[in-house]
Amino acid sequence: MLQEFDKARLASAAPNEIGDALERGDIVKFTSCPIQLPTSEQLEVLRTELPNQLKRKNVSYHPEADRVTGLDDQSPIADLVYEVLSTHRDRITKCLQTLMPTLARNIRPGTCSFRPLEEKGRNLKPHASNELVHIDAGAYGATNGDRILRAFVNVNPTRDRVWASKGAFPDLFKQHGHAAGLYNDLTPTLERGVFGKFRTSLLNGMARIGLPLAPMLDSSPYDRVMRKFHNYMKDTPAFQQNTETDETFYFEPFATWIVLTDMVSHASLSGQHALVYTALVPLQDCRLQDLAPFNILRAAA
Ligand SMILES: [Fe+2]
């Protein structure tokens, strides 16, 4: 499940090697960060100041609104946070387009966040907890089957960020799809009906008149099924406690890794201080269509 790319492997990688690995459900890790990171002084400010100034779970840059959420606008480091997150987002986007010319050719960058708090023992509500294994779903508006691609950098200078996974979507759906009740919600097309299309155009209209984050509230039949699976995983102790298929990953300081998080189940068991980039990849740009959750669910319907 973990594919490591050092400089030599990266230099000799075939054009679709990294993208295909992601689509198969691998985590792709770079042994040295392939982009320029914020300066050590900037990172030190984020690490030391943000935990005290946090208003939400994370501090995030939203490109649709071109602003940072999770931090008081009057914060003395608001400008620095904006600069660091928006620059990091641009650098990662360019890097992904270079590394994955097919998969990332029409990438749609979303939020870029800083995770300032220790993941272990945060006592968040189950659906918001990163400590429980889950696939990502439903927090990005309606994806309609497009893929959720995330890039992580552990910017803690001394401690690993530790992840667990229980495997990838195709096997998880086979094993748990019935128990999660997903078959009740499957339709042959998984497409929006008339009401769904109306809601989408309404939310897009709201974005055009000054509410740029309104489309984040959108949904679709596919996204609701994925959200149901996400919630089942987090709400089911037997699922969490069965460690037969568990793999644990240790990401050392300044390790960088990318993953399709709608595909690979994951939990952040411990670690503090990470940069997290999120983007959507159009489903049509995937080369391994049969492995995409949307097509697996449609075939099951
Ligand atoms: Fe997640």
> What pLDDT does residue 50 have?
86
Residue whose entry in the numeric block shows the structure tokens 């620095």: 80
Q: Is the pLDDT of residue 120 over 70?
A: yes
Once rounded to an integer, what is the mean pLDDT over residues 227-250? 94
| Cα separation, 129 vs 233, whole angstroms | 11
**Residue 177 identity (one-letter amino acid):** G
Q: Is the pLDDT of residue 252 over 70?
A: yes
Distance between Cα 187 and ligand 1 center (Å) = 26
**Pair of tokens at residue 168:** 């990838």
The band of 139, judged by pLDDT with boundaries at 50, 70 and 90, is low
Distance between Cα 99 and ligand 1 center (Å) = 23
Distance between Cα 177 and ligand 1 center (Å) = 19
Distance between Cα 80 and ligand 1 center (Å) = 26
Once rounded to an integer, what is the mean pLDDT over residues 198-222? 78
Question: What is this structure's pTM?
Answer: 0.92
Distance between Cα 300 and ligand 1 center (Å) = 24
Distance between Cα 175 and ligand 1 center (Å) = 20
**DSSP letters for the chain:** -EEEE-HHHHHH--TTHHHHHHHHTPEEEESS-SSPPPPHHHHHHHHHHHHHHB-SSSEEEETTTTEEESB-TT-TTHHHHHHHHHHHHHHHHHHHHHH-TTTTTT-EEEEEEEE-S-STT----GGG-SSS-B---SSSS--TT-EEEEEEEE--SS--EEEEE--BHHHHHHHHTTTTTGGGG--SS----HHHHHHHHHHHHHHHTT-TTGGGG---HHHHHHHHHHHHHHH-HHHHH--TT-EEEEE-TT-EEEEETTTB-BEEEE---EEEEEEEE-GGG-S-GGGSHHHHHHHH-
Distance between Cα 267 and ligand 1 center (Å) = 7
**Pair of tokens at residue 233:** 């995983």
> What pLDDT does residue 87 have?
96
pLDDT digits (tens, 9 = 90+) for 71-99: 887 888 999 999 999 999 999 999 999 99
Distance between Cα 8 and ligand 1 center (Å) = 30
Distance between Cα 134 and ligand 1 center (Å) = 6
Distance between Cα 194 and ligand 1 center (Å) = 30
Distance between Cα 12 and ligand 1 center (Å) = 31
Distance between Cα 283 and ligand 1 center (Å) = 19
Conformational region of residue 286, where left means phi above 0, alpha means psi within -120 to 50, and beta covers everything else: beta
Distance between Cα 147 and ligand 1 center (Å) = 13
pLDDT digits (tens, 9 = 90+) for 150-209: 999 999 999 999 999 999 999 999 999 999 999 988 887 788 887 778 777 777 777 787
Distance between Cα 29 and ligand 1 center (Å) = 17
| Cα separation, 100 vs 245, whole angstroms | 29
> What pLDDT does residue 14 have?
95
Distance between Cα 53 and ligand 1 center (Å) = 23
Residues 6+ apart with CB under 8 A from 98: none
